[in-house]
Chains A and B, each alone.
Chain A
Amino acid sequence: MDYRQEIRKFIGENLSLEHEGAVLSDDDNYFELRFVNSLFAMRLVDYVERRFGIEIENEDLDLKNFSTINNLHALIERKLSRKGAIYE
């Protein structure tokens, strides 16, 4: 499963980009593009946990894992495969 489009949608809804209509590419670092507040960070972690039914542990809470769509997608896939479940 490819969740990239879905993640992009969540970020687009919760983080405003400098230029309206700008599209976030899979490797854009959205934490570098702007000043991110704690509330967005919390929402992002919360979204990933709930949507994919996984638990983000301390060792996963590395900014790198969350800073681009590709990295986040990789983290989710890693966690899901470790869970051993096929997530629909």
Chain B
Amino acid sequence: MERKKEIKCIVWDLDHTIWDHVLLETPDVQLRPWIKEIIETLDRRGILHSIASKNDYGAAWGKLEELGLEQFFIYPEIHWNAKSSSIANIQRNINIGMDAILFIDDQEFELEEVKAVHPAVNCLHADRYISLLDDPRLMPRFITADSARRRQMYQQDYLRKRAEEQYQGPSEQFLATLGMKFTIHPATEEDLQRAEELTVRTNQLNATGKTYSYDELFVLMHSTEHQLLVCELEDKYGTYGKIGLVLIHMQETCWRLKMLLMSCRVMSRGAGSVLLTYVMREAKGHVKTLLADFRDTGRNRMMNISYRFSGFQEESSDGEGNYVFRHNLQQVGNFPKYIEVRVLTESAGPRGEVYGLSSGNPEIYR
């Protein structure tokens, strides 16, 4: 299903865009009409906000605090450097595609400067900010619990990153200080909106690049031949939300991974490998062979490498970027020590049977 590419983050200018004058000339600037309401509404939809403003940082941030807007902006870039470099920093910090950014400014020069360096960035003149709420690129199909708290999750990420930068010592020791808990459970109906959202939003860590609609996922969830699993991750800073999805087609002698994806926010946490390890252990426990689908989308090379480095071998390919991998399951690794893995089983799901797991208490691997 093809959809208009969603915008994940709006980067705002300040002077003559968020407020009505130039702050350093007119200290009592006023917000332009409906700005706060628009930002709040988009924030609830899960759209992130940031700032690229040529301004004095102290003065500008102080004004945002005074106006009660500061909590909405992540990774603000307030200084005198080129806005194209600000956009590059924001894009790197949030870890999204350039085409998922919308830049708003009142000066043609700035819009053109950004566009010249980053052609994929969407640009909008500040005079048209009122149109934002009706822009289809800013209307996700569902607003899930995860989208509504997306900004807070990025703010927690910021604290994690800072702690990580300040930590002196091996990175795995740092990871151990986070107290990560990784939960895997069968998808329920409440998970499906977020599951669809994940298939639409995830590019780099999506093994097939295929998106699934709510209805398709609903059918798969109830299929006795399929297992649809959802993963969540939390640590001492808070929850990362539902960050992974896997679909297994369970045939008589063979399990086939039809979909494997992970939010890019957990890329450095080893979460993708944890999930793969879990699937391999389960398949081995059931004496099934394990196949996996991979499609080269040009953006998901990390998944290709993850499969191959996890011991998957290329079984076949069609020469058009579609691959089938096979794992012989002779060597299946353990979970990393720094992450606690819990597998929750369905108590009385529609399948009536839960594969590989004794029902009741969660299994905890350490």
The answer to whether A16 and B270 touch across the interface, beta carbons within 8 angstroms, is: no
Residues of B with C-beta under 8 A to A54 = none
B binding-site residues for A, Cβ under 8 Å? 169-173, 205, 267-270, 272-273, 301-306, 308-311, 314, 333-337
Min Cβ gap B192→A in Å is: 26
A sample of 8 cross-chain residue pairs with beta-carbon separation below 8 angstroms, ordered by A number, consists of: A16-B172, A37-B270, A38-B267, A38-B270, A41-B302, A41-B305, A58-B314, A61-B308
A66 and B171 CA atoms in complex are apart in Å by 21
The answer to whether B308 and A35 touch across the interface, beta carbons within 8 angstroms, is: no
Judge if A42 is at the interface, Cβ distance under 8 Å: yes
A35 and B205 CA atoms in complex are apart in Å by 18
The answer to whether A38 and B306 touch across the interface, beta carbons within 8 angstroms, is: yes
Q: Of all chain B residues, which has the CB nearest A37?
A: B270
The answer to whether A63 and B301 touch across the interface, beta carbons within 8 angstroms, is: no
Other than the given A16-B170, A36-B270, A39-B267, 16 more pairs (CB < 8 A) read: A20-B169, A31-B309, A35-B334, A37-B268, A37-B269, A37-B273, A38-B272, A38-B273, A41-B302, A42-B302, A58-B314, A61-B304, A61-B305, A62-B308, A63-B308, A63-B311
The answer to whether B333 and A35 touch across the interface, beta carbons within 8 angstroms, is: yes
A15 and B268 CA atoms in complex are apart in Å by 12
The answer to whether A38 and B172 touch across the interface, beta carbons within 8 angstroms, is: no
The answer to whether B305 and A35 touch across the interface, beta carbons within 8 angstroms, is: no
The answer to whether B304 and A35 touch across the interface, beta carbons within 8 angstroms, is: no
The digit string for A16-54, where 1 denotes a CB below 8 A from any CB of B, is: 110010000000000100111111011001000000000
Q: 9 smallest A-B Cβ distances: which pairs?
A: A16-B170, A35-B336, A37-B270, A38-B306, A61-B308, A42-B302, A39-B268, A63-B309, A38-B272
- Residues of A in contact with B, size category: 10 to 19
A45 and B172 CA atoms in complex are apart in Å by 20
A75 and B90 CA atoms in complex are apart in Å by 37
Min Cβ gap A22→B in Å is: 10
The answer to whether B173 and A16 touch across the interface, beta carbons within 8 angstroms, is: yes
Q: Of all chain B residues, which has the CB nearest A14?
A: B171
Min Cβ gap B264→A in Å is: 10
Min Cβ gap B329→A in Å is: 15
Min Cβ gap B327→A in Å is: 12
Residues of A with C-beta under 8 A to B267 = 37-39
Partner of A61, one of B170, B171, B273, B309: B309
**Contact A58 B273, CB 8 Å, known A34-B172, A38-B267:** no
Residues of B with C-beta under 8 A to A35 = 172, 270, 273, 333-337
Partner of A20, one of B170, B303, B314, B335: B170
Min Cβ gap A51→B in Å is: 17
Min Cβ gap B204→A in Å is: 9
A66 and B336 CA atoms in complex are apart in Å by 20
Q: Of all chain A residues, which has the CB nearest B264?
A: A39
